[in-house]
Structure 1
């Protein structure tokens, strides 16, 4: 028998079964992953949020497997075919795939040719020829010829029909053998090639897929981005994808090795007996008609799922980095949503993110009211005491950046600083129901400027209002399973929000919705209660919010902050359930909470072991003391902005060899996309990220990083920029050089197949603004 679910998960995670069992109980009781990771360390043995997410995912899979196992056993038992040996095999099946392989011969199916042959009474013929190859097939088949006086379903008009029916029965038997299926599957996984060819007549229409017009690569080696690119080509009816072994691709082609494996598995061989050739042909047809097609579909689906999982993982990591990007903090900010003909939309938000003023200025074509725009911005900055200018990085971004620079140069007394920020998703937010409710009287175009200003102040608080898929840090995000993508991204947002915590007196409904234990209804109730009764003075007051019960309070309270409230602990990550512990510590050292909180010297002098007991374990005491030392600590880095080089505003301004500063906007498996201020992200290939070998680009850079790069290649026609973070790389390509003639050690990776450039092309096309 298989180990228990808890034991299997424990082995996979490398932890103790007791840790898994305790965590499963907490999850079943409704506890969230952030709550368990932060406040139940003693119970789980310090499992972190990554381990907990994996545990939760595997728990769901294994429970579904057990449920399916019960159903399979019941189905076979009802058919009266459940032997002790089969039952043991089913009970020991470790994966859904293995379970389905075992169930395949007993699975109710439509009326097949093999079933028709059985109804005609031909199964004894199939068994006889299989068991005794010395029999002459034609002579044996003649015994089963039945003429028209027989019932219609038993008509066997001639010897050929009898042998064809017997062959169908054997082919079905061969194709449903679980052990054979597993052997063939493993052989193909190790040796098969994915072959991609262009569909005749689609060469011009599918030019962007030309790198895969005649392409092959081992299925085991194919990276996620390449697989997804080819699957997209197939979905657009440009490419035809097949799974082949090397002998099948020779000229002339030879039989696939799997064909011989079918015969060998059943002991079929040409030993000169009468039925040997007929049996070999049956094995060959079983491979060609049933097994090869079945396994090709299955393995291609596995490749797609594996590629999707990797793409989702990349997306999730980029989103995590973006959400936890450094906030500029509570500073009055002017948001500029650049535009040309329609003007630059301006929104001013105060330190709390509240909209206090709006305007539209026209510094660019066709009005070119530069001086009027400067005057309007100066007036708004003086009126509201603005400290920052946030500039969206879309159309006319660099021109608007120049306007802000001119304002700062002419009026140093304003003490303004400018920052270019990503406006990805701002238009989605502007047209959303949430924005309509928040700003019913504000034009849609101005709402985008508000979002741009706020995401500079606090990226996390603003980006949670936008569907993560609209933020623009994904790889082939529209080609992957949307349910799994949404689930993964929601988990990332939940983890990020709870790792930072939120001010319950300023947080929006979308932000509160992401807090452990809360949902949209409860979040709305909190905001409504706050609007009616004023700011919360304590965490305890949250229990007065309608429908916020004890269980919800337990899950959420530690992540909700009440700044400047009655109790300083309410502004920290110390959970209310640990307040008695703090009181005991204070009584022991004879000091008040306001004296101790934030006093690192006093806190560091305390011995955690002195205060641990059955109720509050050592891990909890240590966490509480860390929080007392630095209450409400923010895990996000210190704010830093990139300085785009003056005069470099368009692709035509770039020259190979230039050293520039930029912001990492997206990290994929094949490299990092970097905004250098020319309206088109450049790509630093994975081979150009560091002097050493880099397996995972995320180990070197992450979304939001400010980096220095060198321009290696510029292709204006295709709007592509090749960059390197290795500033000592020598430039060997000229501007606008044909792609196939360009190259440098930074842009022609030795460890990737040549068609990598095609993946880059697809990525550029996908992520182009």
Structure 2
């Protein structure tokens, strides 16, 4: 725990005692808002932003430590834990690095490489790797084993290739190096799936799209990922022209060969070893690294999207309240009419109803008269108009009302109605307004949002307020936090 506290303190630029005090409060069940507001003297006045970062890093590093412990125990039970390996695992500072180190020891289903080892082909793989002057076909003759299914030299060499491919692909240093290389040099190439052009028209910007992987902004990344999930788009990672010409060696293959000291010097086994390297990249590593890096892109995009959502939500919650002034809330609609809620200065519902100024009923003048009556009877000062369907038409109606009856001295404001329908059908609304129809509850919410945005919006799930980008695509647990 001390090492975690030290690390967080260094990252945030605060004292370790502040981190320890905050961790203790979090472990006791205190929330970040509570600590930020009521425990400043304990945390040394850490602000809410520092506390949120601290909580996130604490969660990540504790998960990292739990996984580290599990991996060490697993390798130790296999009797393969060396001092050098233990040191490498203890030094791993990311989950990716930890999993790369664990890969060769991770219990897995019987692989082709394992079957080849059981058939006695590992010495053949070692011989060709360590001494490329040996002829593969000739050397393989000595490893035929009909009982194990190795009937000819092709089967023997295939088995040896699988063994080397697995060995090459499970090297933690190589995996980290390749991941960094593709991240720095890779391009994200996106295309439309054939036949999906019409169905996926909203993704047309990405039908033929290429940009550097490390520079993809969060909104584009989330759009591309959504397009793929909906079966409209396909993507791949490319480096230079290697992926265009499948016959040319991929730059990653060159790095694998260099890491394992494999060179084509015209020796008998050099061509076979080069083919092993090619297969290692094309069959085992390219998809794995693409998956890892796209997960990294998604995580970064989700973090950015959640931060945007949080900032927008904060701005919305902290909008200046109109105050305790009698307000008329209008929830616009066409065929179903405009729902009206009359709210007094204490936010209580004192009247409600519906008017039908728009098509098909077109009761324009009667609607204005009814609104004027409510305004006179309840001394209304403000009219809050929801910004949904028929909002402009309803605003025009209220403008006409103000023009006809200037003595009412009304002020009209268009209010975001995001989440009003969710609130109106919620259990909270049922308890708060049990005698009102769900359609009227929406108008009540719109009026109260103008009087006191914070008091009204906190009743609604944040994600239902709709102030973020792709908020339904991101990790919902992180979004809720």
TM bracket, shorter-chain basis: over 0.9
1:260 Cα deviation from its structure 2 partner: 0.8
Structure with greater contact order relative to length (CA < 8 Å, sep ≥ 6) = 2
Aligned-pair CA distance for 1:453: 0.5
Greater fraction of residues in helix? 2
Residue of structure 2 aligned with 1:174, choices 136, 146, 168: 168
* TM-superposition CA deviations, 1:714-766 (whole Å, max 9, x none): xxxxxxxxxxxxxxxxxxxxxxxxxxxxxxxxxxxxxxxxxxxxxxxxxxxxx
Looking at structure 2, the residues matched to 70 and 251 of structure 1 have their Cα atoms a distance apart, in angstroms, of 44
Aligned to 1:274: 268
1:210-257 CA-to-partner distances (Å, cap 9, x unmatched) read 222222111011111111112222122222111111122556863211
Distance 1:71 1:269 in 2: 38
Aligned partner of 2:87 in structure 1 is: 88
CA distance in 1 between counterparts of 2:337 and 2:285 reads: 63
2:195 maps to 201
Matched, 1:460 2:454: yes
Distance 1:249 1:127 in 2: 30
Q: In 2 relative to 1, CA 486–30 (structure 1 residues): closer, same or farther, beyond 3 Å? A: closer
Q: Is the 8 A contact 2:242 2:251 kept in 1?
A: no
1:18 corresponds to: 17
Question: Following the alignment from structure 2 to structure 1, what is the Cα–Cα distance between the partners of residues 227 and 197?
Answer: 12
Distance 1:413 1:208, change over 3 A: closer
3-state SS in 1 of match to 2:242: helix
Q: Match for residue 42 of structure 1?
A: 41
- Which among 430, 447, 459 is matched to residue 424 of structure 2? 430
CA distance in 1, matches of 2:56, 2:98: 19
Deviation at 1:384, TM superposition (A): 2.0
Q: Is the 8 A contact 1:338 1:391 kept in 2?
A: yes
> Within 2, Cα distance between the matches of 1:474 and 1:48?
24
- What's the C-alpha RMSD, in Å, of the aligned pairs? 1.8
Cα distance in structure 2, aligned partners of 1:436 and 1:23:
38
Offset of residue 385 of structure 1: 2.3
1:19-38 residue CA offsets vs partner (Å, 9 max, x unmatched): 21121122122222122212
Q: Deviations over 1:125-173 (max 9, x none)?
A: 11222222232222221111113xx4xxx23111111111011000000
Structure 2 residue runs without a partner (length 5+): none
TM-aligned CA distance change 1:369 to 1:206, over 3 Å: closer
| 8 Å contact kept, 2:249–2:278 | no
Secondary structure of residue in 2 paired with 1:143 = helix
Deviation at 1:204, TM superposition (A): 2.4
Q: Say whether residues 1:364 and 2:391 are aligned partners.
A: no
1:32 and 2:34 equivalent? no
Aligned to 2:240: 246
Q: CA deviation at 1:328?
A: 0.8
Q: Indicate the residue corresponding to 2:415 in structure 1.
A: 421
> How many angstroms apart in 2 are the aligned matches of 1:55 and 1:416?
48
Distance 1:325 1:90, change over 3 A: same
- The 2-side partners of 1:175 and 1:274 are apart by 24
State the match for 1:397 in structure 2: 391
SS of the residue 1:200 aligns to: coil
The alpha-carbon distance between structure 1 residues 16 and 283, as it changes in their structure 2 partners (threshold 3 A), is same
Report the Cα distance in structure 1 between the residues aligned to 2:2 and 2:434, rounded to whole angstroms.
58
Deviations 1:64-107 (A, max 9, x none): 11111011000000000001100000010001110000000000
The CA deviation at 1:344 is 1.7
Return closer, same or farther for 1:198/1:475 CA change in 2, 3 Å cut-off.
Answer: same
CA distance in 1, matches of 2:133, 2:84: 31
Q: Write the distance in 1 (CA, Å) between the matches of 2:49 and 2:446.
A: 31
Does the CA-based 8 Å contact 1:247-1:255 persist in structure 2?
Answer: no
d(CA) in 2 for partners of 1:387, 1:284 = 76
TM-score, normalising length: structure 2 = 0.96
User: How is 1:166-315 mapped onto 2 (pairs within 5 angstroms)?
Assistant: 166-249=160-243, 254-315=248-309
TM-score by length of 1: 0.61
What are the superposed Cα offsets for residues 517-571 of structure 1, whole Å, 9 maximum, x if unpaired?
xxxxxxxxxxxxxxxxxxxxxxxxxxxxxxxxxxxxxxxxxxxxxxxxxxxxxxx
Look up the SS of the partner of 1:246 in the other structure.
Answer: coil
Q: Using the alignment, how far apart are the partners of 2:51 and 2:131 within structure 1?
A: 57
In the alignment of these two chains, the number of paired residues is 481
Matches within 5 A, 1:380-395: 380-395=374-389
Aligned match of 2:325: 331
Contact map agreement 1:247 1:253 (CA 8 A) in 2 = no
SS of the equivalent of 2:174 reads helix
Per-residue CA distance 1:307-337 (angstroms, 9 max, x = gap): 1221122112111111111111111111111
Give the SS at the match of 2:241. helix
